[in-house]
Amino acid sequence: MVKRTPFYNIHKKLKAKIIPFAGFEMPIQYPYGIVHEHRKVRESVGMFDLSHMGEFIVRGPNALDFLQKTTVNDVSELDVGQVQYSNMCYADGGIVDDLLVYRDEDYYYLVVNASNIDKDYDWLHSNLIEGVTLDDVSDETALIGVQGSQSEAVVQKLMNDNLSELKYYHFIHTEIDGTPVMLSRTGYTGEDGFEIYFTALDYAEEIWEKVAEAGQEFAIEPIGLGARDTLRLEMKYPLYGNDIDKDTNPLEAGLRWVVKFDKGDFIGKEALEKVKAEKIQRKLVPFVMDGKGIPRPHYKIFNDGQEIGEVRSGTMSPSLGIGIGTGYVHRNFMKSGTQIEIEIRDKMYPATIIKPPFYKEGTVKSN
Amino acid sequence: MVKEDLLYTETHEWIKIDGKVATVGITDYAQKELGDIVYVELPEVDNELSAGDVLATVEAVKAVEEIYMPIDGIVVEVNEQLDDASDLMNSNPYDDGWIAKFEIASEDELEGLLDANEYKKLIGE
């Protein structure tokens, strides 16, 4: 049974092109199209329905121990009101999912990928320890993203809290028009932005309209999943299922900074320590086409006629106007500046490995 | 929008006949389905192609679609404007957004194509 988010009727009204994605009927684009939507977010502000994402609540006296065991980042570093990007790994170091961990006063809130909700819940549940409860609240949670340089101005109009004081990867509990919401300064676009979570689904359409109304003076527009993907790829943010999966580990995926080996034991630690000691065999690298050609997932990567890897994500970059992609390449070829070729329909197209991100003008407030 | 004076295929190409030469492009319906077209790989002039062969490859931001040769023929001209302005296929699919012209090998084959009414029915218009 394909699910609908509380904003489905709004997407219909806005004439979105709706596709099945991760078990939901989601808007991939609205009538102006992906390139227009992408530019809207880069230049001013856009709003996203992200209600397909999964949310879990972890409670109990041993909640911290449980999350230290099941995620690779150090959850003990989190203050109340702070958010952390992390990965969950299998014992062999392969990635279960990437996620956000929110530390609230008496519980932790996890935000996981829509396509992995059931898998993640089952995996977390199978590793549950005494004194911890795990609740999947995905179906009761709506999520609106507001992203772009003007996002603070838009969201500020909806509440009295001083948002200039809300730091990157931090959150507050507040209200929009009397409806309680959790608001975090987070996003997946490379721009400054906010994510608004709430459970009053009966008021979902009203809250959407409130945000749209607040954004009117900045000509806010709805943004579909298509532009969400091109925006995240321009930053080289990983996408589960493309850039990372159960057969990749955080070290080769460029997520070494997320793994805290010194925090104590966690699932996958032994395997990842071995990877670290033996040096990674391949690495996820960002590359830019030198000229024509658009890389797509599964295209082969060559160097001097020798196959060295495979494309995982690829698109025409709306900001750069050229094909960009990511791919795993053998470690001998992972340095930025390395010349590679992408095989596209039996022809070789030159490309160059770069340092991330592709798009360097983003307004995201990292620290 | 479907133009009355053209022929169509079930794979959403349009064909305009001018004596022995046919012009081919994609329909308004197809360009809408694809979204922003960002790259077109054009065929080479003098290529001899059979019905069903890949004539061109069109890339949208999120999709790659092949454009098929509707009938047998030899490519005589390609729309090189698309190299720098593939968005013409979005903004003007029936005119400036044409893809290629080819010399028709056998006019008998034209009978297998759809007329405007049949194509409208196909796309539910």
For residues A312 and A275, the answer to whether their CB atoms sit within 8 Å is: no
Q: Identify the band that residue A231 occupies on the pLDDT scale cut at 50, 70 and 90.
A: very high
The nearest CA of chain B is from the CA of A27 a distance in Å of: 13
Task: Output b/e per residue, A278-305; b: 16+ Cβ within 10 A.
Answer: eebebbbbbbbbbeebbbbbebebbbee
Residue A236 CA to its chain's centroid (Å): 10
**pLDDT: is A366 or A86 the higher one?**
A86
State the burial class of residue A20 (Cβ atoms within 10 Å of its Cβ: 0-12, 13-18, 19+).
Answer: exposed
Residues near B61 by beta carbon (within 8 Å), at least 6 away in sequence: A34, A35, A226, A230, A315, A316, A318, B35, B36, B38
The nearest CA of chain A is from the CA of B37 a distance in Å of: 10
Q: What is the pLDDT of residue B117?
A: 96
| Residue of A294, A311, A343 for testing the chain B interface, max B β-carbons within 10 Å | A294
- How, if at all, do strands A133-136 and A107-112 pair? unpaired
Q: Within 10 A of A313 (CB to CB), how many other CB atoms are there?
A: 24
Do A34 and B36 count as a contact with CB atoms less than 8 A apart? Answer: yes
Residue in the block written with tokens 């690495």: A283
Helix/strand number for chain A, H first, E second: 8, 20
Architecture of domain A3-49+141-233: 2-Layer Sandwich (3.30)
Q: What gap in Å lies between CA B31 and CA B44, rounded to an integer? A: 23
The answer for A 148-167 residues in CB contact with B (under 8 A) is: none
Q: What is the pLDDT of residue A77?
A: 97
Q: Identify each DSSP E strand in chain A by its residue range.
A: 3-4, 17-21, 24-29, 46-49, 54-59, 82-89, 95-103, 107-112, 133-136, 142-147, 171-176, 179-184, 193-198, 221-222, 282-289, 300-303, 306-317, 322-330, 339-344, 347-353
Average pLDDT of span A342-358: 96
Within 8 A of B61 by CB-CB distance, chain A residues are 34-35, 226, 230, 315-316, 318
State the burial class of residue B5 (Cβ atoms within 10 Å of its Cβ: 0-12, 13-18, 19+).
Answer: exposed
Report the candidate in B38, B44, B41 with the shortest Cα–Cα distance to residue B85: B38
Residue type, B52: G
Q: What is the pLDDT of residue A95?
A: 98
For residues A176 and A349, the answer to whether their CB atoms sit within 8 Å is: no
Within 8 A of B57 by CB-CB distance, chain A residues are 345
Q: Does A226 touch chain B (CB under 8 A)?
A: yes
Q: What is the pLDDT of residue B34?
A: 92
Q: What gap in Å lies between CA B21 and CA A79, rounded to an integer? A: 72
Average pLDDT taken over every residue of chain A: 97
Q: Give the CATH fold of the A55-134 domain.
A: Alpha-Beta Plaits (3.30.70)
Q: What is the pLDDT of residue A156?
A: 98
Q: Within 10 A of A199 (CB to CB), how many other CB atoms are there?
A: 17
- How, if at all, do strands B37-41 and B13-18 pair? unpaired
pLDDT beyond 90 at A1: no
Distances A22 to A51, A285, B104 between C-alpha atoms, Å: 12, 26, 46
**pLDDT: is B109 or A81 the higher one?**
A81
Q: What gap in Å lies between CA A217 and CA A364, rounded to an integer? A: 21
Average pLDDT taken over every residue of chain B: 95
When CB atoms are compared, the residue of A33, A294, A315 closest to B35 is A33
When CB atoms are compared, the residue of A29, A292, A296 closest to B35 is A29
Question: Looking at chain A, which residue has its C-alpha nearest residue B38?
Answer: A316
Within 8 A of B36 by CB-CB distance, chain A residues are 33-36
Average pLDDT of span A65-82: 98
**How large a percentage of chain B has pLDDT more than 70?**
100
| Residue of B38, B44, B61 for testing the chain A interface, max A β-carbons within 10 Å | B61
Q: What gap in Å lies between CA A137 and CA A109, rounded to an integer? A: 10
Residue type, A13: K
Average pLDDT of span A247-265: 97
ipTM field: 0.84
When CB atoms are compared, the residue of A17, A230, A293 closest to B61 is A230
Question: Looking at chain B, which residue has its C-alpha nearest residue A36?
Answer: B36
Average pLDDT of span A149-178: 97
Q: Identify the band that residue A16 occupies on the pLDDT scale cut at 50, 70 and 90.
A: very high
Residues near A65 by beta carbon (within 8 Å), at least 6 away in sequence: A129, A132
Average pLDDT of span A340-348: 96
pLDDT beyond 90 at A159: yes
**How large a percentage of chain A has pLDDT more than 70?**
100
Residues near A100 by beta carbon (within 8 Å), at least 6 away in sequence: A83, A84, A85, A86, A110, A111, A186
pLDDT beyond 90 at A365: no
When CB atoms are compared, the residue of B39, B41, B57 closest to A316 is B39
Do B61 and A345 count as a contact with CB atoms less than 8 A apart? Answer: no
Which residues are A196's β-sheet partners? A144, A183
Distances A257 to A77, A85, A87, A254, B96 between C-alpha atoms, Å: 14, 10, 11, 8, 50
B7-122 CATH, one of 2.40.50.100, 3.40.109.10, 3.90.226.10, 3.30.2350.10: 2.40.50.100
Within 8 A of A292 by CB-CB distance, chain B residues are 39
- How, if at all, do strands A24-29 and A3-4 pair? parallel
Q: What is the pLDDT of residue B42?
A: 95
For A135, the 3-state DSSP assignment is: strand
Q: What is the pLDDT of residue B63?
A: 87
Rounded-to-10 torsion of CA A263, A264, A269, A274: 90
Average pLDDT of span A351-366: 93
Architecture of domain A236-353: Beta Barrel (2.40)
- Joined tokens for residue B77: 């001209």
Per-residue pLDDT of B94-110, as tens digits, reads 999 999 999 999 888 89
Within 8 A of A318 by CB-CB distance, chain B residues are 61
Within 8 A of A230 by CB-CB distance, chain B residues are 61
Average pLDDT of span A243-264: 98
Per-residue pLDDT of B42-68, as tens digits, reads 999 999 999 999 999 999 998 899 999
The kind and range of the H/E element at A270 are: helix A269-278
pLDDT beyond 60 at A306: yes
Q: For residue A337, is it left (φ>0), alpha (ψ between -120 and 50) or beta?
A: left
Average pLDDT of span A222-236: 98
Average pLDDT of span A326-339: 97
Q: What is the pLDDT of residue B56?
A: 96
The nearest CA of chain A is from the CA of B75 a distance in Å of: 20
- How, if at all, do strands A322-330 and B7-8 pair? unpaired
Q: Does A318 touch chain B (CB under 8 A)?
A: yes
Do A226 and B62 count as a contact with CB atoms less than 8 A apart? Answer: yes
User: What are the residue boundaries of the structural domains of chain A, listed by start?
Assistant: 3-49+141-233, 55-134, 236-353
Do B35 and A315 count as a contact with CB atoms less than 8 A apart? Answer: no
Q: What gap in Å lies between CA B13 and CA B102, rounded to an integer? A: 14
Within 8 A of A293 by CB-CB distance, chain B residues are 39
